[in-house]
């Protein structure tokens, strides 16, 4: 029986896919695996029982992924599963940035009981007027699952779209419209674009990337959209840029105490992935990846361990070994098994950066003694008996 703890509410359609071999527990400390959305795992201890964390969503900055890797805990996410939900809200954001729609609606609310409301509207509407997005230049920073959808959709709305992603995947490149202009540098995006939308993960490399230096290169009155993470933007620099009109509007899905009260900020309560469809997609994908990992040792869409699939374990035993990606690990595993006169029937080894993962199928059912012998090898983080 596998025990699953949910650190956030997870869509029922996903949880319903767990078979009778699984039980949902309220007790994080006893969980074999955890499902999470945006709740922070950084402050939590990682119990010895914990084998996997599945993020039902894209961003994993709420999870200590290296600390997990070193305990042999596989961290999954669900690439693309909420991308359409986010894209639709980004399109909304483009329109909200083009005219002061929110300011105007709020003002109408404040005069709604006035019998002359219709006259007042005609007299005051100019204050909320703006521009059209058609014909304007949009810069999309980060052409992953969301960035590609945003770029293609904005192009269909008549925008001239520039894209920047030095690490673009083959899959994204295939899906990107040929009409999107590839930018060689961020500077080109900053100098050319009327609207800029950022779709990169938060990391040490991207934190604060929209800062004073970047704003200096941008057009006066640029509109910036951030549906990725608050700290991609240097808050003080953004506030200064908004004050002088360098940035005309900042649309963000991540309000902070300093940003939320500003008139030039459209602050949305992190709704990008909060649609029935996205929540269902993420939950189904996360649960399927967890089950395949717990039952077969298969890894799909992990952010700290490599993809690794040796199918259903149809040999007598299977060991899943998490280890450092250093020379002679496989040699030591095979020697340790040979010393016990155990024949290996199948084996697969994959690596990702400094971490590696080996699935070894053997001709006898795995035992705690075999597990211990492999675990004692230096550089091994965890050994799990799959079968």
Ligand X SMILES: O=C(O)[C@H](O)COP(=O)(O)O
**CB 157, min distance to ligand NAD, A:** 19
The interface partner of residue 165, options being ligand NAD, ligand X, none and the CB cut-off 5 to 8 Å by kind, is ligand NAD
**CB 215, min distance to ligand NAD, A:** 17
The interface partner of residue 37, options being ligand NAD, ligand X, none and the CB cut-off 5 to 8 Å by kind, is ligand X
User: By CB under 6 A, which span of 120-128, 222-230, 322-330, 342-350 interacts with ligand NAD?
Assistant: 222-230
Which of 22, 76, 227, 250 touches ligand NAD by CB under 6 A? 227
Looking only at residues 205 through 264 of this chain, which bind ligand X when binding is defined by CB under 6 A? none
Torsion sign over Cα 205, 209, 214, 219: positive
**Residue 90 or 320 with smaller CB distance to ligand NAD:** 90
CA angle 10, 281, 228 (to 5 degrees): 85
Which of 82, 206, 226, 298 touches ligand X by CB under 6 A? 82
Looking only at residues 25 through 64 of this chain, which bind ligand X when binding is defined by CB under 6 A? 37-38, 57-59
Residue nearest to ligand NAD (CB): 144
The interface partner of residue 227, options being ligand NAD, ligand X, none and the CB cut-off 5 to 8 Å by kind, is ligand NAD
The contact mask relative to ligand NAD for 310-329 (x = CB under 6 A, - = no) is --------------------
CA distances from 195 to 90, 95, 251, 323 (A): 11, 11, 11, 45
Neighbours of 204 (CB within 10 A): 6
Q: Give the C-alpha separation, 269 to 259, whole Å.
A: 12
Site size toward ligand X (CB under 6 A) is 10
**Residue 161 or 360 with smaller CB distance to ligand NAD:** 161
The interface partner of residue 38, options being ligand NAD, ligand X, none and the CB cut-off 5 to 8 Å by kind, is ligand X
Which of 64, 72, 163, 272 touches ligand NAD by CB under 6 A? 272
The interface partner of residue 147, options being ligand NAD, ligand X, none and the CB cut-off 5 to 8 Å by kind, is ligand NAD
HEC assignment per residue over the chain: CEEEEECCCCCHHHHCCCCCCEEEECCHHHCCEEEECCCCCCCCCCCCCCCEEEECCCCCCCCCHHHHHHCCCEEECCCCCCHHHHHHHHHHHHHHHHCCHHHHHHHHHHHCCCCCHHHHHHHHHHHHCCCCCCCCEEEEECCCHHHHHHHHHHHHCCCEEEEECCCCCHHHHHHCCCCCEECCCHHHHHHHCCEEEECCCCCCCCCCCECHHHHHHCCCCEEEEECCCHHHECHHHHHHHHHCCCEEEEEECCCCCCCCCCCCEEECCCCCCCCHHHHHHHHHHHHHHHHHHHHHCCECCECCCCCECCCCCCCCEEEEEEEECCCCHHHHHHHHHHHCCCCEEEEEEEEECCEEEEEEEECCCCCHHHHHHHHCCCCEEEEEECC
Which of 36, 69, 146, 247 touches ligand NAD by CB under 6 A? 146
Radius of gyration of the chain (CA): 25
CA distances from 85 to 60, 102, 175, 177 (A): 18, 21, 17, 19
Looking only at residues 57 through 116 of this chain, which bind ligand NAD when binding is defined by CB under 6 A? 57-59, 79, 82-83, 86
**Residue 226 or 366 with smaller CB distance to ligand NAD:** 226
User: By CB under 6 A, which span of 119-127, 270-278, 303-311, 340-348 interacts with ligand X?
Assistant: 270-278
User: By CB under 6 A, which span of 67-75, 105-113, 125-133, 196-204 interacts with ligand NAD?
Assistant: 196-204
**Residue 143 or 360 with smaller CB distance to ligand NAD:** 143
**Residue 59 or 103 with smaller CB distance to ligand X:** 59
Q: Is 163 in the site for ligand NAD (CB under 6 A)?
A: no
Binding site for ligand X (CB under 6 A): 37-38, 57-59, 82, 270, 272-274
Binding site for ligand NAD (CB under 6 A): 57-59, 79, 82-83, 86, 141-147, 164-169, 172, 199-202, 205-206, 227-229, 253, 270, 272-273
């Amino acid at each position: 029986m596998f025990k699953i703890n949910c650190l956030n509410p997870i869509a029922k359609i996903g949880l319903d896919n767990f078979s009778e071999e699984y039980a949902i527990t309220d007790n994080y400390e006893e969980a074999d695996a955890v499902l999470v959305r945006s709740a922070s795992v950084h402050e939590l201890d990682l119990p010895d029982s914990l084998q996997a964390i599945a993020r039902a969503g894209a961003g994993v900055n709420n999870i200590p992924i290296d600390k997990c890797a070193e305990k042999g805990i596989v961290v999954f996410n669900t690439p693309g599963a909420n991308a359409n939900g986010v894209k639709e809200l980004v399109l909304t954001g483009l329109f909200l940035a083009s005219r002061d729609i929110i300011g105007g609606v709020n003002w109408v609310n404040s005069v709604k009981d006035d019998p002359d409301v219709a006259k007042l509207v005609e007299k005051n509407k100019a204050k909320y007027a703006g521009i059209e997005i058609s014909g304007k230049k949009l810069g999309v920073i980060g052409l992953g699952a969301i960035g590609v959808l945003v770029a293609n959709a904005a192009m269909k709305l008549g925008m001239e779209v520039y894209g920047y992603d030095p690490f673009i995947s083959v899959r994204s490149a295939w899906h990107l419209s040929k009409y999107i202009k590839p930018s060689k540098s961020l500077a080109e995006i900053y100098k050319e674009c009327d609207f800029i939308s950022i779709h990169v993960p938060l990391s040490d490399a991207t934190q604060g990337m929209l800062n004073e230096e970047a704003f200096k290169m941008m057009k006066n009155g640029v509109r910036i959209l951030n549906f990725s993470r608050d700290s991609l933007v240097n808050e003080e620099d953004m506030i200064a840029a908004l004050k002088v009109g360098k940035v005309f509007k900042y649309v963000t899905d991540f309000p902070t105490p300093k940003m939320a009260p500003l008139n030039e900020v459209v602050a949305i309560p992190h709704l990008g992935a909060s649609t029935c469809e996205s929540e269902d997609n993420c939950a189904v994908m996360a649960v399927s990846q967890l089950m395949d990992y717990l039952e077969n040792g298969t890894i799909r869409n992990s952010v700290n361990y490599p993809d690794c699939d040796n199918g259903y374990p149809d040999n007598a035993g299977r060991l899943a070994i998490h280890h450092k990606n250093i020379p002679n690990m496989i040699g030591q595993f095979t020697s340790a098994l040979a010393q016990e006169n155990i024949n290996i029937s199948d084996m697969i080894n994959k690596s990702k950066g400094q971490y590696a993962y080996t699935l070894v199928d053997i001709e006898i059912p795995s035992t705690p003694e075999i597990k211990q012998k492999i675990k004692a090898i230096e550089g091994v983080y965890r050994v799990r008996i799959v079968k």
